[in-house]
């Protein structure tokens, strides 16, 4: 009997966004069937399910020795989706081993937005070394150097911005950073229209900062 798939395996902006979430905050179970997404953001759970066109239970769990259940979690049982994810570069226990992910160029911005929502951040500050120097960065994070190098290469190839990645990881992860002008390019690509699927808190933070300095 052929395994039944719950998720439509067809590239779209929503599907690519979901892949970005899986790459960063997802995991593939050893049973070759289940995909699990974990996050402190409940909105991410709803976005993930909406992107894949499914409805699943959303639970809560703790982390390590903590008793308080701070993390939301949802699980999908879909053998065909699991096999598809393996075919594009994902695997069980991928955190430090993931490398390239086969994403169509036309949907890379959506994948990148999912990657950003999963493990990215945006921050800003006034640089005291120069008068009226306001700095802001878009950052992508991964525990795999090969993956972050691939991501940097794809962003450069498609959007002509190089970013910066330190040779040594910050803690246990590598950070790929884009400052000011380069970050503007990235943000315009990721949020290319008003109603793209995304974490609202991250987008609102970006809009607030850029609106304050007249970059919106």
Cut 0.85: pTM above it: yes
Q: What is the pLDDT of residues 7-65, one digit of tens each?
A: 999 999 999 999 999 999 999 999 999 999 999 999 999 999 999 999 989 998 876 66
What percent helix, strand, coil does the chain show, rounded to 5?
Answer: 40, 20, 40
Q: How many domains does one find in the chain?
A: 2
Residue 123 sits in the same domain as residue 86:
no
Residue 192 sits in the same domain as residue 137:
yes
Instruction: Give the pLDDT confidence score for residue 84 in this predicted structure.
Output: 97
Is 109 part of a structural domain of the chain? no
Residue 76 sits in the same domain as residue 124:
no
Q: State the pairing for strand pair 34-39/26-28.
A: antiparallel
- Cα-based torsion angle of the residue sequence 39, 74, 64, 33 in order, rounded to the nearest 10 degrees: -120
Single residue among 96, 126, 150 that ends a domain in this structure: 96
Give CA angle at 65 (64, 68), nearest 5°. 95
| 178, 165 Cβ separation under 8 angstroms | no
- CATH number for the domain that contains residue 77: 3.10.28.10
Residue 83 sits in the same domain as residue 55:
yes
Q: Where are the beta strands (DSSP E) in 43-152?
A: 59-61, 71-77, 121-126, 134-142
Single residue among 96, 131, 161 that ends a domain in this structure: 96
Q: Does 216 score more than 60 pLDDT?
A: no
Axis crossing angle, helix 145-159 with helix 180-190, rounded to the nearest 10: 80
Is 104 part of a structural domain of the chain? no
Single residue among 39, 63, 96 that ends a domain in this structure: 96
Instruction: Give the pLDDT confidence score for residue 132 in this predicted structure.
Output: 67
Domain that holds residue 45: 13-96
Residue 121 sits in the same domain as residue 198:
yes
Is 145 part of a structural domain of the chain? yes
User: What does the block give as tokens for 30?
Assistant: 């050893």
3-state class of 206 per DSSP? helix
Is 108 part of a structural domain of the chain? no
């Amino acid at each position: 009997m052929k395994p039944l798939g719950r998720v439509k395996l067809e590239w779209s902006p929503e599907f690519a966004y979901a892949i970005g979430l899986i790459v960063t905050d997802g995991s593939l179970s050893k049973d070759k069937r289940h995909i699990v997404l974990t996050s402190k953001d409940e909105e991410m759970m709803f976005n993930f399910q909406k992107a894949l066109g499914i409805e699943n239970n959303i639970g809560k769990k703790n982390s390590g020795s903590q008793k308080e259940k701070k993390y939301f979690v949802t699980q999908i049982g879909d053998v065909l989706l699991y096999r598809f994810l393996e075919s594009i570069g994902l695997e069980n226990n991928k955190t430090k081993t993931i490398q390239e992910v086969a994403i169509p160029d036309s949907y890379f911005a959506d994948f990148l937005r999912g990657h950003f929502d999963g493990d990215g951040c945006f921050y800003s500050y006034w640089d005291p070394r120069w008068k009226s120097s306001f700095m802001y960065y878009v950052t992508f994070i991964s525990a795999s150097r090969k993956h972050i190098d691939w991501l940097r290469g794809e962003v450069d190839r498609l959007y002509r911005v190089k970013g910066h990645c330190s040779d040594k990881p910050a803690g246990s992860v590598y950070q790929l950073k884009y400052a000011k002008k380069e970050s503007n390019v990235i943000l315009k690509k990721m949020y290319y229209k008003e109603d793209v699927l995304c974490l609202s808190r991250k987008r609102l933070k970006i809009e607030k900062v850029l609106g304050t300095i007249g970059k919106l």
